[in-house]
């Protein structure tokens, strides 16, 4: 039986080791080496890449990544919760609405992000329309700022909050809401005191599923931030391409990963306590 299990798991382990653990070990090794003149890496071993991270320029990028990811997550939850609540109570139309939520996945994320650029740029649809209507006289700076990046991230990751929120709200025992009303709680009070606390697992899952990819996002800040709103993802990409500083790129990647793991661990701890 155990031998059989080992055989069944073998493909998974092969994939995990060759495509995940081995590259990770390589990145770890790179991060302690010196950059080569034309990219690549060379000896000697050094901690320099990690020491450079405390430079205020990089700390600012780290901080910006956190707040952009945090704001995007908060907005996703704020928009996703009412939507998930609505879908969970939509009766037999549930699947139709869930289908609509997932519809954007049918088109490439890159294409959808470009579409936002066409909408937001100075000569884009929105600015042209507003100017034609005489609402504004010169184009609004809608593109290439933090707001545009957050908009793009919220747009891209909203389904990832809606789905786990829907899953918990769907399972919520309706008699609990009847009980709340029965005990004198008006609909808003019942929402605050029963529905939201009991959907904590969905809120947590939705927040994790959005915050982590947003923290490491590079496509959206690259296209909608236009290099003005740099996040960690762009920094890492830059080190491996134009800057040709593989050791520093590796170090930043690992620090980002470490932060994410510490966060996940803290959330898991908090979850364990709240269940007691």
Q: Is 179 in the site for other proteins (CB under 8 A)?
A: yes
Region of 54-62, 102-110, 169-177, 263-271 interacting with other proteins (CB under 8 A): 169-177
3-state secondary structure of 6: helix
Cα–Cα distance, 71 to 229 (Å, whole number): 14
- Of residues 125 and 176, the one with the C-beta less far from other proteins: 176
Among 55, 170, 178, 271, binds other proteins (CB under 8 A): 178
Look at residues 140, 149, 80 and name the one whose alpha carbon lies nearest to residue 113. Answer: 149
Give 61 or 194: the residue with its C-beta nearer to other proteins.
194
Interface with other proteins includes 181 (CB under 8 A)?
Answer: yes
User: Rounded to the nearest 10 degrees, how much is the dihedral formed by the CA atoms of 235, 256, 168, 93?
Assistant: 20
* Angle in degrees, CA 228, 158, 149, rounded to 5: 5
Site for other proteins in 194-213 (CB under 8 A): 194, 197-198, 200
CB of 192 to other proteins, least distance (A): 11
State CA 70 to chain mean position distance. Answer: 9
Q: Among 270, 243, 241, 239, which residue's Cα sits nearest to residue 256?
A: 239
Identified binder of other proteins from the candidate list 76, 180, 215, 251, rule CB under 8 A: 180
Among 44, 56, 99, 184, binds other proteins (CB under 8 A): 184
Which structure tokens are listed for 164? 């786990």
Q: How far is the CB of 269 from other proteins (least distance, A)?
A: 18
Q: Which of 24, 115, 125, 183 binds other proteins (CB under 8 A)?
A: 183
- # binding residues, other proteins (CB under 8 A): 18
Taking CA 24 as the corner, what is the angle to CA 73 and CA 252, rounded to the nearest 5 degrees? 55
Residue 110 or 176: the one with the smaller Cβ distance to other proteins is 176
* CA of residue 113 relative to chain centroid, distance: 15
Residue in the structure block whose two tokens are 């599923």: 209
- Our finding on whether 173 is near other proteins (CB under 8 A) is yes
Pairing of strands 41-42, 34-35: antiparallel
List 74, 185, 259, 263, residue binding other proteins (CB under 8 A): 185
Which residues form the interface with other proteins (CB under 8 A)? 173, 175-176, 178-186, 189, 193-194, 197-198, 200
């Amino acid at each position: 039986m155990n031998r059989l299990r080992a055989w069944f798991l073998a493909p998974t382990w092969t994939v995990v080791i060759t495509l995940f653990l081995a590259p990770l070990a390589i990145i770890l090794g790179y991060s302690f080496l010196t950059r080569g003149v034309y990219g690549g890496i060379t000896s000697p071993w050094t901690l320099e890449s990690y020491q450079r991270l405390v430079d205020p320029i990089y700390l600012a990028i780290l901080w910006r990544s956190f707040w952009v990811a945090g704001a995007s997550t908060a907005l996703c939850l704020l928009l996703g919760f009412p939507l998930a609540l609505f879908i969970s109570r939509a009766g037999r139309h549930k699947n139709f609405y869930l289908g609509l939520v997932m519809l954007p996945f049918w088109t490439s994320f890159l294409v959808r992000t470009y579409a936002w650029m066409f909408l937001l740029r100075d000569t884009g649809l929105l600015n042209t329309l507003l100017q034609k209507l005489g609402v504004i006289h010169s184009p609004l700076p809608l593109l290439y700022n933090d707001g545009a990046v957050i908009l793009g991230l919220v747009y891209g990751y909203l389904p990832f909050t809606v789905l786990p929120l829907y899953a918990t709200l769907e399972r919520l025992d309706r008699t609990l809401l009847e009980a709340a009303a029965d005990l004198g709680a008006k609909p808003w009070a019942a929402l605050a005191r029963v529905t939201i606390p009991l959907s904590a697992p969905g809120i947590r899952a939705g927040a994790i599923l959005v915050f982590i990819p947003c923290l490491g996002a590079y496509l959206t800040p690259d296209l909608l931030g236009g290099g003005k709103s740099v996040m960690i993802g762009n920094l890492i990409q830059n080190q491996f391409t134009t800057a040709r500083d593989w050791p520093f790129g590796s170090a930043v990647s690992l620090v980002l990963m470490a932060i994410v793991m510490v966060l996940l661990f803290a959330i898991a701890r908090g979850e364990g306590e709240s269940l007691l």
